[in-house]
Copies of this chain bind each other. A is one copy, B any other.
Amino acid sequence: MPKPSHREKLLEAGFEVVLERGYCGASVRDIVHAAGAPQGSFTNHFASKEAFCLELLDRYFAMVEENIRLTLRNDASKPLARLEEWFDIQVRVLKKAGMRNGCLIGNFSAEAGEHSEPIRKRLREIYHEIHGSVAYCLEAAVKARELHASADCDELAHFLYAALHGAILQSKVEHSPAPLKRFKKTLFAVVLRPEPPRL
């Protein structure tokens, strides 16, 4: 019987390794070494690196969902303040790694989806889920008159989440939170305004 503790150690240490080095860049040897686990333990617990990374992605998304529950879906606070808090949580997480690692969802979108069809499909589902929560918060902002009634929350949610990923990419390249600060400033000053859009 494989020890359950090795499984957990591999997932915890492997998360850092895969976030930092990427799907292809992180080898099973790197993961086992970072976990301080015996060489054979990986194959005792995981069918493949793909299966391992799918589990990492699910764990990452569970964390994302928890942050969404506390912010975007938290009806007790004002909608645009919730959106801002959602960004701020992400910046705090990224800062812990010196803005070097980026977001597992964005990293896997750029790289892993081309190597693994199950990961690409899971990413598509994750985008759909997150989009729904961003749109939910923007619709609440319309109801609270923080956004104009004519705002297309569905389209804005796609746009905003894309821009966030792009800003995270830039932050990785610059090793600096500046691109994310700029993103937030322009988003709230220009995109999310109470006036009606030109259409």
Which A positions have Cβ atoms within 8 angstroms of B? 20-25, 100-102, 106-107, 109-111, 113-115, 120, 123-124, 127, 152, 155-156, 158-159, 161-167, 169-170, 172-175, 179, 182-183, 185-187, 189-191, 193-195, 197-199
Contacts and interface: CB of A to CB of B under 8 A. Distances in A.
B115 A111 contact: no
A183 B159 contact: yes
List the number of copies, as a whole number: 2
A170 B114 contact: no
A194 to B, nearest CB: 7
Among A124, A162, A167, A182, the most chain B Cβ lie within 10 Å of the Cβ of A162
A22 to B, nearest CB: 5
Contacts of A166: 106, 161-167, 169
Contacts of A102: 110
Interface of A: prevailing SS: helix
A179 B162 contact: yes
Contact of A197 (B25, B167, B190): B190
A182 B158 CA distance: 8
A170 B160 CA distance: 12
A186 B124 contact: no
A162 B170 contact: yes
Nearest to A103: B110
Contacts of A158: 170, 179, 182-183, 186
Contact of A190 (B107, B111, B156, B162): B156
23 contacts: A22-B24, A22-B111, A22-B115, A24-B111, A25-B114, A25-B115, A100-B114, A107-B110, A110-B110, A114-B172, A120-B175, A156-B186, A159-B182, A159-B183, A159-B190, A162-B169, A162-B183, A165-B170, A166-B167, A190-B197, A193-B197, A194-B198, A195-B198
